[in-house]
Amino acid sequence: MRSKKQIETNILEGKTWYKVPEYKVMLVRDNKKTETETKFIKSPDDVNKIIQSYLNGVDREHFAIVLLNRKNGIIGINTVSVGDLSSSIVHPREVFKPAIVAGAASIILAHNHPSGDPTPSLNDVRITKRIKEAGDILGIEVLDHIIIGDGCYESLKARDLF
């Protein structure tokens, strides 16, 4: 038994009508607020302030994106994946879904290292390059990837790692 009513669309093919499930994607604003006055991203420090506040107190790795307009104004923040103590599974499809729905011109990737050490791993660099390639195809620029630790952070862009 389904808990939600399925919306169907009737499709005519030749002389036969088919019922096809209709999917609607909606953008929902979360009431979770960050304690920051930054409205425009000008530097990795700006992103760090936002992400440190957004991921404050989490005990597992969280991968998030900051959605930006053409002037680097913040449209929103989305948690893409929640992992375990040392990793999270991230797929470009899931990264860009909220960016497309929100009409973002660019994004900034961000995640925490629960160990407290923000040093990028080889896998961090690989996934960043893969996501950047997907963004190039979609026309959504990946501006940076910020990794946060205990009161500190690393910018993959500043380190020329992608």
User: What pLDDT does 36 receive?
Assistant: 46
User: What pLDDT does 89 receive?
Assistant: 87
Instruction: Supply 130's token pair.
Output: 């893969």
User: What pLDDT does 30 receive?
Assistant: 61
Mention the CATH class of domain 32-155: alpha beta
Give the pLDDT confidence of 36-71 residue by residue, as tens digits: 444 799 999 999 999 999 988 898 999 999 999 999
Helix, strand, coil % in the chain, rounded to nearest 5: 25, 30, 45
User: What pLDDT does 77 receive?
Assistant: 93
* Residue numbers of the chain with a pLDDT score lower than 50: 1-3, 36-38
User: What pLDDT does 125 receive?
Assistant: 97
